[in-house]
């Protein structure tokens, strides 16, 4: 029985041990589970602590932000207050400006009404002035045409007077000699003088006046008996009309102007053409004075080839270089200028600017003549400036020695002044 009890007890003890082992395993598993939960709880606590720390920092940041925002709000409120005050001031100023604008607008409207009335008055005056200007322009045009006609009448009067004087002289001579044969002696003498001079340009004369020449008539005879009375020229650089105008005694005597020019010492003292100055040509070139040829003959024989200047305002070298005329026309530069270039508005040299002169002295366009001829006939005596680079009045004031010497300022400047580095005008360096 005891052994049976022992066996039972042993069996129970074995069962208890098994149960104890099972319980120990379960307890160990439970402990392990609890340890895992504890580790998880520790981690969760650590996370929560971190989150709490972050939340605390964020809360602090938000608190600081809130404080800054509150300060900004206060500043903004102050700005709003200042803006409100400024807006009030602007509103007051705007109201005042509106009042001033209304006053100004009202005043301007009044001024506009007055100005419109004045404008209407001025418009009427302008219309009246325009009418007056138009009338004066018509008067000026009539005066210009009158001057042109007067110039033509003066030329015609000289030629008519010359023709009458010549007829009277022929009648006087025929009465003196009292023979029909002697009547023809007077023009024949002039014809002989002109032929012997060699200066009558037959080819030029016949070509220029072909419509006036009778077939088979001798050109020189035509000039002596008819051409001079018509104002025809015997050669390119002899102006019949200009010679008669400059030498009235020739017209009154009824002498043929070209024959008169060729006789005695006349060719050395009288100009054959406005653009041929005998005194200038002889004084400028010593060989001309020493030559037995008269100045015009010397110019055609030697002067053209040597490029000599027969007038202070005409520079053949300058003219040829600028306009290249000799190669095209086969004419001497001066002849080309007198009969072609001047009508085309060409300048004769560096000391006469045709366009500038006509613009500066508009009265020069009132006459039926080129600006240069007007200058030579009227402008030079009236002390006009021939070009922007030379002012004769200023030149005489600037250099008293020239004024005291009674010298033509332009001739002095061309001949001496430039070489002495004198200024021709205040605008010239």
Please spell the DSSP secondary structure of 146-188, one letter per residue: HHHHHHHHHHHHHHHHHHHHHHHHHHHHHHHH-SHHHHTHHHH
Q: Cβ(375)–Cβ(364) under 8 Å?
A: yes
Say yes or no to pLDDT of 358 above 50: yes
* Mean pLDDT value of segment 66-81: 87
Say yes or no to pLDDT of 180 above 50: no
| 83-123 pLDDT, tens digit each | 888 888 888 888 888 888 888 888 888 888 888 888 888 88
User: Does residue 380 sit within a domain?
Assistant: no
Angstrom distance (rounded) from CA 333 to CA 326: 6
pLDDT at 371: 95
Band (pLDDT 50/70/90 cuts) for residue 177 is very low
User: Does residue 197 sit within a domain?
Assistant: yes
**Partners of 314 in beta bridges:** 311
pLDDT at 99: 87
How many residues make up the chain in this entry? 429
Angstrom distance (rounded) from CA 49 to CA 55: 9
Helix (H, G, I), strand (E, B) or coil at 74: helix
| 164-173 pLDDT, tens digit each | 776 776 666 5
pLDDT at 316: 93
Helix (H, G, I), strand (E, B) or coil at 276: strand
Q: What single DSSP character describes residue 214?
A: P
| 361-401 pLDDT, tens digit each | 998 887 788 999 999 999 999 999 999 999 999 999 999 99
| 223-263 pLDDT, tens digit each | 999 999 999 999 999 999 999 999 989 988 889 999 999 99
- Residue of 227, 235, 314 lying closest to 272 (CA atoms): 235
Cα 196 from chain centre: 53
Helix (H, G, I), strand (E, B) or coil at 273: strand
- Tell me the residue range of the domain where 212 lies: 154-270
> Which position has the token pair 């306009």?
323
- Residue of 270, 46, 255 lying closest to 170 (CA atoms): 255
Band (pLDDT 50/70/90 cuts) for residue 411 is very high
User: Does residue 420 sit within a domain?
Assistant: no
| 257-315 pLDDT, tens digit each | 999 999 999 999 999 999 999 999 999 999 998 999 999 999 999 999 999 999 999 99
Angstrom distance (rounded) from CA 263 to CA 199: 13
Residues 6+ apart with CB under 8 A from 375: 352, 357, 364, 384, 386
| pLDDT-above-70 percentage for the chain | 88
User: Does residue 377 sit within a domain?
Assistant: no
User: Does residue 257 sit within a domain?
Assistant: yes
pLDDT at 368: 80
Say yes or no to pLDDT of 198 above 70: yes
Tokens of 217: 């008539």
User: Does residue 211 sit within a domain?
Assistant: yes
User: Does residue 248 sit within a domain?
Assistant: yes
Angstrom distance (rounded) from CA 125 to CA 169: 63
What mean pLDDT value characterizes the chain? 87
Q: Cβ(187)–Cβ(259) under 8 Å?
A: no
Tokens of 96: 């005042």
Band (pLDDT 50/70/90 cuts) for residue 150 is low
Angstrom distance (rounded) from CA 145 to CA 124: 31
For the chain, the domain total comes to 1
Among the listed ranges 106-110, 123-127, 176-180, which one has the minimum average pLDDT value?
176-180
């Amino acid at each position: 029985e005891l052994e049976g009890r022992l066996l039972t007890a042993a069996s129970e003890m074995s069962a208890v041990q098994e149960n104890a082992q099972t319980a120990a395993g379960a307890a160990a598993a439970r402990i392990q589970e609890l340890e895992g939960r504890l580790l998880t709880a520790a981690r969760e606590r650590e996370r929560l602590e971190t989150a709490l720390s972050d939340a605390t920092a964020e809360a602090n940041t938000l608190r600081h932000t809130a404080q800054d925002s509150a300060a900004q709000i206060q500043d903004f409120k102050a700005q709003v207050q200042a803006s409100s005050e400024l807006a009030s001031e602007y509103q007051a100023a705007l109201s005042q400006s509106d009042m001033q604008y209304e006053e100004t607008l009202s005043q301007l409207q009044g001024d506009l009404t007055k100005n419109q009335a004045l404008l209407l008055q001025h418009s009427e005056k302008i219309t009246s002035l325009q009418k007056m200007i138009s009338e004066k322009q018509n008067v000026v045009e009539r005066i210009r045409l009158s001057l042109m006609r007067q110039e033509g009448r003066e030329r015609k009067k000289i030629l008519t007077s010359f023709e009458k004087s010549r007829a009277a002289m022929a009648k006087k001579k025929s009465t003196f000699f009292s023979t029909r044969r002697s009547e023809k002696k007077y023009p024949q003498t002039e014809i002989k003088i002109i032929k012997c001079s060699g200066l009558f340009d037959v080819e030029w004369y016949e070509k220029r006046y072909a419509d006036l020449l009778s077939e088979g008539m001798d050109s020189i005879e035509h000039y002596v008996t008819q051409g001079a009375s018509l104002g025809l020229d015997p050669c390119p650089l002899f102006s019949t009309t200009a010679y008669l105008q400059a030498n009235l005694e020739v017209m009154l005597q009824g002498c043929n102007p070209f024959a008169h020019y060729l006789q005695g010492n006349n060719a050395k003292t009288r100009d054959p053409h406005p653009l041929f100055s005998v005194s200038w040509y002889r004084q400028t070139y010593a060989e001309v004075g020493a030559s037995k040829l008269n100045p015009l003959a010397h110019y055609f024989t030697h002067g053209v080839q040597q490029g000599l200047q027969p007038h202070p305002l005409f520079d053949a070298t300058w003219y040829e270089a600028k306009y290249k005329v000799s190669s095209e026309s086969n004419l001497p530069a001066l002849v080309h200028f007198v009969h072609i270039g001047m009508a085309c508005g060409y300048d004769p040299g560096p000391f006469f600017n045709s366009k500038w002169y006509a613009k500066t002295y508009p009265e020069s366009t009132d006459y039926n003549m080129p600006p240069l001829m007007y200058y030579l006939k009227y402008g030079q005596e009236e002390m006009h400036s021939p070009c922007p680079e030379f002012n004769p009045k200023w030149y005489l004031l600037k250099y008293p020695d020239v004024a005291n010497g009674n010298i033509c300022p332009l001739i002095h400047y061309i001949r001496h002044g430039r070489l002495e580095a004198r200024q021709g005008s205040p605008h010239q360096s």
